[in-house]
């Protein structure tokens, strides 16, 4: 077997090898082998100056951590081909998490996707175009106007020739630019010019993520139909920083891409599922109503997650300020009685998930005209009557779906109340959540917020899930429903 003789290398290369080997805790021979392997695997293209080579090799051989090119490419059970024929335009923003974009490119390519990359100038401070180009096996686009560039295909073509645009890491700046329609560099111009779906994987300091401006921009982007994955909570790359702002892991981003491109597994195809979501509004007169703080975020996320798994989802939604989920048939209602009628008309179904915060009472006679203040008469007295319990009605219905799931929003005695609801309402599962301000979930609590911590209560017992985003709760619940329905034959 041939051996590597370090002694024969020239001094500059030897010095570079020595430093990289020490940093990666390898022998110089092992480090040389890793680098040669990377070159053979086409990850290092033609390279020029020694400092460029060093930056490239550093990114390719150390930053991957455990997944060095040599070991990663020996990859064992990678689901190849799931993205075969798909074209992804990856926009890399400037942040420490940019190094994870290298791994993302590799993961996408091993699944068969063609990856074209646009890098902002800030991104080039963190990773080189050389290593990005070597991994994507394509030219890397950086300039809005580059008349000398033989590869200049123009921002319109760049943005249209992809099936999906992915921004990873999505910095606060890139989010702000798109939310406000700015187009002053290639990345922002491509984003404004596209007619394709866009997925953002934000990564930033937790304080920047929590800033009202970033929250506002995110809400605007979501309203505009931009999808998000993460950020996650945890340790940041910067020392002594922890919180929400860490970019989602490359494999999580891949899963979101597969879901958006509709290429993931579809275990719920052929299953009809009803979901209720949002609050109900119970009129007092034509201009006033009784309502609650439900935003519909959790219910809508569940409907979307079920649709991604292939279900035929019928969402009955009360009045909410969020968009109808993609791929779902949405019926809009206002009052509890309308919600009940809509749900009953949708029966029979394989499963029903009752997430709506239905008003328990309504005003017995809502006035036909606006109630006026009459001097000396004092405030009107409203007589309340109970609304139909939609979940209980379906739980005991002659056409009861095989799987009936309710929610229990409680501010005290969470488990006792959830168990009582399970029995009383004829449900198979109750997803119990503490909606008190003291729940410690998210800055704005569960109601209206983006995070949730739930417990799954069934006859078999209680299973606690950790705090996660409402999208993650939805994905996990959808997977649980798919699992349960496997055992229910139609």
The dihedral of CA 51, 57, 62, 64: what is its sign?
positive
Cross-strand partners of 232: 246
Q: Are 152 and 146 in contact (CB under 8 A)?
A: yes
Quote the least distance from Cβ 425 to ligand CTP, whole Å: 6
Q: Which one from 292, 365, 417, 433 is the annotated catalytic residue? A: 292
Q: Which two tokens stand for residue 275?
A: 């979901």
Please report which helix (H) or strand (E) contains residue 442, including its range.
Answer: none
For ligand CTP, which is the closer residue by CB, 221 or 357?
Answer: 357
Enclosing H/E stretch for 178: helix 172-179
Q: Is 292 a catalytic residue?
A: yes
Q: Residue 456, Cα to own-chain centre: how many angstroms?
A: 22
Min dist. Cβ of residue 285 to ligand CTP (A): 22
Q: Is 30 helix (H, G, I), strand (E, B) or coil?
A: helix
Select 253 or 356, whichever has its Cβ closest to ligand CTP.
356
16/409 with CB nearer ligand CTP: 409
By C-beta, is 184 or 437 nearer to ligand CTP? 437
Q: How far is the CB of 393 from ligand CTP (least distance, A)?
A: 8
Binding-site ranges for ligand CTP (CB under 6 A): 276, 336, 354, 356-358, 360, 387, 389-391, 406-409, 421
Q: How far is the CB of 409 from ligand CTP (least distance, A)?
A: 4
Number of other residues whose CB lies within 10 A of the CB of residue 103: 20
CA dihedral over 474, 480, 483, 488, signed as positive or negative: negative
Beta strand ranges found along 219-350 (DSSP E)? 227-228, 232-235, 242-246, 272-277, 282-285, 288-290, 312-317, 329-332
β-pairing, 87-92 vs 114-119, is parallel
Q: Considering the complex, state which of residue 184 and residue 413 has its C-beta at the smaller distance from ligand CTP.
A: 413
Residue 247 contacts residue 202 (beta carbons within 8 Å): yes
Q: How far is the CB of 399 from ligand CTP (least distance, A)?
A: 16
Q: How far is the CB of 385 from ligand CTP (least distance, A)?
A: 12
Half-sphere exposure of 243 (CA within 13 A, CB side): 14
CA distances from 466 to 429, 448, 471 (A): 18, 19, 13
Least distance to ligand CTP, CB of residue 371, Å:
25
Q: For ligand CTP, give the closer residue by CB, 190 or 405.
A: 405
CB nearer to ligand CTP: pick between 309 and 353: 353
Q: Which helix (H) or strand (E) holds 1?
A: none
One-character DSSP codes across 2-25: ----GGGS-HHHHHHHHHHHHHTT
- Buried residues in 254-264 as b, exposed as e (16+ CB within 10 A): bbbbbbbbebb
Q: Which residues are catalytic?
A: 292
């Amino acid at each position: 077997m041939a051996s590597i003789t370090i002694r024969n290398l020239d001094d500059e290369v030897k010095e570079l090898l020595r430093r990289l080997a020490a940093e990666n805790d390898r022998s110089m021979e092992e480090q040389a082998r890793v680098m040669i392997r990377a070159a053979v695997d086409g990850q290092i293209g033609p390279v020029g100056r020694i400092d460029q080579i060093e930056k490239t090799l550093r990114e390719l051989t150390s930053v991957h951590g455990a997944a060095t090119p040599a070991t990663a490419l020996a990859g064992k059970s990678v689901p190849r081909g799931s993205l075969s024929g798909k074209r992804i335009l990856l926009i890399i923003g400037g942040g420490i998490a940019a190094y994870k974009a290298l791994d993302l490119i590799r993961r996408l390519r091993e699944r068969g996707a063609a990856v074209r990359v646009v890098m902002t100038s800030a991104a080039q401070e963190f990773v080189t175009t050389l290593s990005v180009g070597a991994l994507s096996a394509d030219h890397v686009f950086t300039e809005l106007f580059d008349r000398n560039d033989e590869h200049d295909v123009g921002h319109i073509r760049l943005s249209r020739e992809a099936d999906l645009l992915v921004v990873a890491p999505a910095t606060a700046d890139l989010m702000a630019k798109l939310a406000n329609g700015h187009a002053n560099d290639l990345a922002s111009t491509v984003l404004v010019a596209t007619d394709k779906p866009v997925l953002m994987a934000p990564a930033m300091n937790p304080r920047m993520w929590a800033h009202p401006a970033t929250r506002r921009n995110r809400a605007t982007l979501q309203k505009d139909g931009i999808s998000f994955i993460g950020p996650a909570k945890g340790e940041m790359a910067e020392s002594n920083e922890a919180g929400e702002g860490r970019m989602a892991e490359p494999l999580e981003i891949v899963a979101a891409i597969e879901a958006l491109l509709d290429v993931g597994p579809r275990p719920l195809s052929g299953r009809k599922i009803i979901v209720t979501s949002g609050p109900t509004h119970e009129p007092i007169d034509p201009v006033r109503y009784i309502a609650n703080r439900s935003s519909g975020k959790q219910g809508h996320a569940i409907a979307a997650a079920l649709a991604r798994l292939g279900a035929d989802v019928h969402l009955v939604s009360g009045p909410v300020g969020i968009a109808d989920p993609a791929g779902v048939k949405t019926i809009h209602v206002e009052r509890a009685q309308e919600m009940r009628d809509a749900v009953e008309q949708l029966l029979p179904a394989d499963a029903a998930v009752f997430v709506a915060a239905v008003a328990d009472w309504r005003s017995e006679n809502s006035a036909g005209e606006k109630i006026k203040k009459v001097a000396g008469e004092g405030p009107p007295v409203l007589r309340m009557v109970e609304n139909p319990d939609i979940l209980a009605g379906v739980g005991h219905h002659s056409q009861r779906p095989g799987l009936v799931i309710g929610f229990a929003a409680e501010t005290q005695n969470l488990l006792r109340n959830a168990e009582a609801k399970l029995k009383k309402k004829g449900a198979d599962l109750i997803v119990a959540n503490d909606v008190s301000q003291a729940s410690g979930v998210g800055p704005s609590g569960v109601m209206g917020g983006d995070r949730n911590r739930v417990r799954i209560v069934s006859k078999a017992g209680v299973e606690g899930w950790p705090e996660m985003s409402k999208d993650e709760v939805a994905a996990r619940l959808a997977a649980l429903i798919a699992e349960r329905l496997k055992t229910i034959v139609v």
